[in-house]
């Protein structure tokens, strides 16, 4: 189909592809300028006065999304059948919604722990027999501490290996982020040493001279290493690290080396800082081509090659 407009001919080409599926592509070409407009590209935003076209820095930002949608509030279109469908398709989210109401009731009615009493820790209650066993068997406590230190060494060796040998800095970046945040939080709030703490001279940090309780770097480091193993399809190593991390958590609770909340936040910290390291790596390091591996020492601009 053609249309005459001021001496220029504009062709509208419609191609329909049948067989497996139907696909329509539109291509609009202006023969006067020899340019072709990609229909998949969104139209450019109108330029503000005094701003040159094509200046990305000067392109006006779109207006904010209104708080009240033009079509009205979302809940106005809800129905009983729709809510039932949500319950069928998203049972986990519904369980979380009920748990929100449940724990709101618990929080507003639970008696507070006195300032003169030790913290109430369910993990300590569950591991009380193990704590007594470690207190009465120093040799067993030392053995478990030594094994735990070996596991920390395994985490460290793997994370450093991925950087120095494989040239993949993400686990190392995640560990740097994690331990920096842990140091800031540990200095901000210094928790008291739990009652019944069973230290050992072979534990890491060596001798337990002093250390931060919140949050567990032991657990977070193991999570960072395990996540990297999954990305590289080292499934067997990841399962071993997860199992050892679980045993490590039980041992830390039994020896009163960490509160339960320290271990739980350690797991979350491993995921969070691994994700942040990935975002940092994606924003700073060029993937693919000549600069697939990061160049930290050169002065060239990897972004422009």
- Does residue 218 have an active-site annotation? yes
Catalytic residue, chosen from 81, 121, 203, 218, is: 218
- Does residue 262 have an active-site annotation? yes
CB 51 within 8 A of CB 58: yes
3-class secondary-structure state, position 281: helix
Burial (0-12, 13-18, 19+ Cβ within 10 Å), 291:
middle
Catalytic residue, chosen from 258, 274, 275, 291, is: 258
| Paired strand residues for 25 | 15
CA distance 97 to 120: 26
| Paired strand residues for 211 | none
CB 133 within 8 A of CB 143: no
Catalytic residue, chosen from 31, 90, 121, 262, is: 262
Other C-beta atoms lying within 10 Å of the C-beta of residue 33 = 8
Tokens 């970046």 locate to: 173
Catalytic positions are 218, 258, 262
């Amino acid at each position: 189909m053609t249309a005459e407009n001021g001496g220029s001919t504009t062709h509208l080409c419609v191609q329909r592809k049948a067989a497996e599926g139907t696909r329509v592509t539109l291509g609009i070409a202006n023969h006067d300028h020899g340019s072709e407009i990609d229909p998949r590209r969104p139209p450019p935003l109108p330029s503000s006065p005094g701003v040159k076209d094509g200046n990305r820095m000067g392109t006006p930002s779109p207006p904010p999304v209104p708080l009240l949608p033009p079509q009205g509030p979302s809940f106005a279109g809800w129905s009983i059948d729709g809510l039932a469908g949500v319950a069928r398709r998203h049972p986990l989210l519904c369980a979380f919604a009920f748990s929100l109401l449940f724990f709101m009731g618990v929080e507003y009615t639970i008696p507070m722990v006195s300032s003169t009493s030790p913290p109430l820790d369910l993990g300590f209650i569950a591991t009380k027999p193990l704590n007594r066993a470690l207190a009465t068997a120093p040799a067993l406590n030392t053995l478990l501490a030594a094994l735990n230190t070996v596991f920390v060494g395994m985490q460290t060796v793997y994370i450093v290996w991925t950087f120095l040998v494989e040239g993949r800095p993400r686990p190392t970046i995640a560990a740097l982020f994690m331990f920096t945040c842990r140091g800031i939080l540990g200095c901000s709030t210094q928790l008291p040493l739990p009652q019944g703490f069973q230290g050992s001279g072979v534990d890491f940090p060596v001798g337990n001279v002093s250390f931060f309780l919140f949050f567990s770097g032991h657990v977070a480091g193991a999570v960072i290493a395990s996540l990297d193993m999954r990305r590289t399809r080292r499934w067997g190593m990841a399962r071993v690290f997860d199992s050892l991390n679980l045993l490590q958590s039980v041992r830390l609770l039994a020896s009163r080396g960490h509160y339960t909340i320290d271990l739980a936040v350690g797991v979350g910290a491993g995921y969070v800082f691994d994700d942040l390291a990935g975002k940092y790596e994606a924003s700073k390091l060029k993937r693919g081509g000549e600069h697939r591996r990061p160049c930290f020492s050169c002065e060239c601009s990897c972004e422009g090659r």
